[in-house]
Amino acid sequence: MSNIVIVLTTEKQGELASYYASSRVERNAPGVIFAAKLGDTSITSYKSGKVMFQGNGAERESSRWGKPNNPTTKKTSSKGDKLPSNFEQLSVMGSDETGTGDYFGPVTVAAVYVSADKIALVRELGVKDSKMLTDDFMRQIAPDLMRALPHSILTVRNDKYNTIQARGWSQGKIKAMMHNQALHNVLGKIAPEKPAHILIDQFAERGIYYNHLKNEKIIVKENVLFATKAEQLHVSVAAASILARYAFLKEMDRLGDLVGFDLQKGASNKVDEMAARILLSKGEATLKSMTKWHFANTQKAHAIAAKKRSK
């Protein structure tokens, strides 16, 4: 199925709407101002001026209005499996995680399915590599993504994280288990439909990833691809990254409410100082309940707290 996007002026969009008025259909999606359905082509016009043509007649119909808008895709230095040349236009399920490098807060994983006919909508909502987006913007668009796309979000809070980490689970195993479960959840939601591919933002080699899952009853393997910097390779992974971040931020909000101030992200010296502050005011049990206890920040916080007590 062809998928062609062109950009029109407001005047031209009005002409397009008049031309296809007899084939108009209602499409209640963010940013859509007009939609039409022909026998072999779907046409969707957006507030931004973009118009998407999908179907076997996409090239014929789009040529009536202008040339395709195909901006050069930013090249990435990603590593991993070789992807099809038209991968960014395929129906793909993507998964990503966040929180693994943060002392405070959980590990979150999200899996999202973006079918080919929703790629333009997802881009219209502002989805791109989350490293290029602010936390506030991700908080804003995440609810729209959750309404529009089949997804699964998993959160391992600090108490559970510390328990399974002490049992010998590495972060790699924790992430692999979460990715596998999230992908399985979304496959169940979209069945009997299947994605053309599943793309995991690679944090481990394929063999290591599946070795972590060797004892699981259900292991998602069909059409699974691995690539680093996968957020730049398909909007499904970019959307998954945003939802994972959104879940992480919500849990950080909850933990911040418990101590009465916003928690510092990452694992810097500022984090050590904040952890010491919590240790002195709330005690070790409270600090442990909101941190990844095995991080070096724990010992640093104890050392800072001890110096402050001795003064």
pLDDT digits (tens, 9 = 90+) for 10-38: 899 999 999 999 999 988 777 789 999 99
Q: Which of 73-82, 115-124, 201-210 has the highest mean pLDDT?
A: 201-210
State the average pLDDT for the chain.
Answer: 90
Across 269-289, average pLDDT: 95
- For the chain, the DSSP string reads -EEEEEE--HHHHHHHHHHTGGGB-----TTEEEEEE-SS-EEEEETTSEEEEEETTHHHHHTTT-----PPPPP----BSPPPTTGGGS-EEEEEEE-TT-SBS-EEEEEEEE-GGGHHHHHHTT-S-GGGS-HHHHHHHHHHHHHHS-EEEEEE-HHHHHHHHHTT--HHHHHHHHHHHHHHHHHHHHTT---SEEEEE-SS-HHHHHHHTTT-S----TTEEEETTGGGT-HHHHHHHHHHHHHHHHHHHHHHHHHTSPPPPSSSHHHHHHHHHHHHHH-HHHHHHTB-TTSTHHHHHHHHHHHHHH-
For helices 135-148 and 235-259, give the axis angle rounded to 10 degrees.
120
Reply yes or no on whether the pLDDT at 198 is more than 90.
Answer: yes
Reply yes or no on whether the pLDDT at 137 is more than 60.
Answer: yes
Higher pLDDT, 294 or 4: 294
Which phi-psi region, left, alpha or beta, contains residue 134 (left: φ > 0; alpha: ψ -120 to 50)?
beta
Percentage of the chain exceeding pLDDT 90 = 68
Q: What is the pTM of this model?
A: 0.77
